[in-house]
Structure 1
Amino acid sequence: MKTYQNEHVRVEVDCSIHLLQQTWSGLPSSENFRDGSLAIMALAKRHQVNRWLVDLRQLRLFNPVDLHWFIQHWLPQATAEHTMPQHARVAVILNDLNQFGKLGSDLLLRASGNQNGSMASRYFVGNEDAREWLLRKS
C-alpha cells in the first residue's frame, strides 16, 4: 500500500483494486491542503486510480480559497492528465449527511462532475458501505 501523510490528510492507495483513500482532519492550512491534493494527484495518476474514498468525518471544514484553487487549478490539471478517468467513482464519508464539511465537498463534486460527466459519486456515513459501493461492478 502506497501512502502520503501531512498534518491534515493521510492517503493510502490499494494498487490491487485501484482505490485511493484520503482521510482529512481538522482545518487544513492552505499549504497542507494543496500539498496533499498534489500528492493525491500524483499517486492517482501513477497507480491508475479509478475509485476514490474521501473520509471527511474528522474534517472541520475546507477554506473557501483552497476550494477555489482546487476547482480552478487542480481539477483542470487532473482532467487534462486523465488523473480521474472516465467512469471513476467517488465515495465521500461524513459523520452525518448534514455535516458542515459537506458544503465544500458538494462544490468539489459538482465541479468534478462538470469536468467528467461519467464520474459517479455518493455520500455515506460508514466506511463499509462506501467501500462496497466503490467495489461494485456497476
Structure 2
Amino acid sequence: MTKTPVRSLYFENAIGRIWEEPECFLRLEYRAGPRETLQFRALLTHAGQALTRRRWAKILVDQREMAPFNASEQDWMTNEWLPRAVAEHGYRYGAVLVANNVFARLAMNQYVMATRNLTHTYRTFEAEDEAMAWLRAFE
C-alpha cells in the first residue's frame, strides 16, 4: 500500500500559514483581517527561508481571504522582499489564488506591475486545481 504524500506545516502566525507541499512548492495562505507589520514581514521572510531550505522556486499564494495590502506592505514587498526572494532564495513562479476582496485584487495587480522587471513570473487563478497544474509544469 502506497502512502499518499501530505503537506507539512512550515510556519504559522496571526497573518497566515506556510505549507510545504509534496509536489515541491510552498503554499502561502493569508488569513482574513488586518495585518501587523512585524508578523506580516515574518511570514514572508520565512517563506523565503523555506524556498532556500528546500531549493524550491515556486509558491502557491492563497489570497482568497486576504485584506488589501497597505502602502507600507506594498512598498516593502516591492522594494525589499521580492527582489531578495528572487536573488537570494531562487523564487521564480507564483501562482496566486485571487482575493475575494476587489481592493485586495487591485493592490496585487499594482504589485505585479511594479515588480515585472524581476526574473519572476506571477499568474493569477480563480481555481486552485488550475493554479497547482500551472506550478507543476515548471521543474
**TM-score tier (shorter):** 0.7 to 0.9
> 1:72: Cα distance to partner?
1.6
> 1:82: Cα distance to partner?
3.9
Alignment of 1:14-93 (within 5 A): 14=21, 16-25=22-31, 26-84=33-91, 88-93=92-97
Unpaired runs of 5+ residues, structure 1, are none
Structure 2: how far apart are the matches of 1:49 and 1:113?
20
Q: Which residue of 19, 31, 34 corresponds with 1:12?
A: 19
Aligned-partner SS, 2:29: strand
TM-score by length of 1: 0.82
Structure 1: how far apart are the matches of 2:111 and 2:83?
12
Q: Which amino acid is 1:90 matched to?
A: G
1:130 alignment counterpart? 131
Q: Alignment RMSD, CA only? A: 2.1
Change over 3 Å in CA distance of 1:127–1:107 after alignment to 2: same
> 1:137: Cα distance to partner?
4.9
Aligned-partner SS, 1:11: strand
Q: Count residues in correspondence.
A: 131
Unpaired runs of 5+ residues, structure 2, are 1-7
Aligned-partner SS, 1:62: coil
Max radius of gyration: which structure?
2
Residue 30 of structure 1 contacts residue 63 of structure 1 at CA under 8 Å; is this kept in 2?
no
> 1:81: Cα distance to partner?
1.1
* Residue 109 of structure 2 is aligned to residue 106 of structure 1: yes
Identity percentage over the alignment? 25
Aligned-partner SS, 1:81: helix
Change over 3 Å in CA distance of 1:95–1:111 after alignment to 2: closer
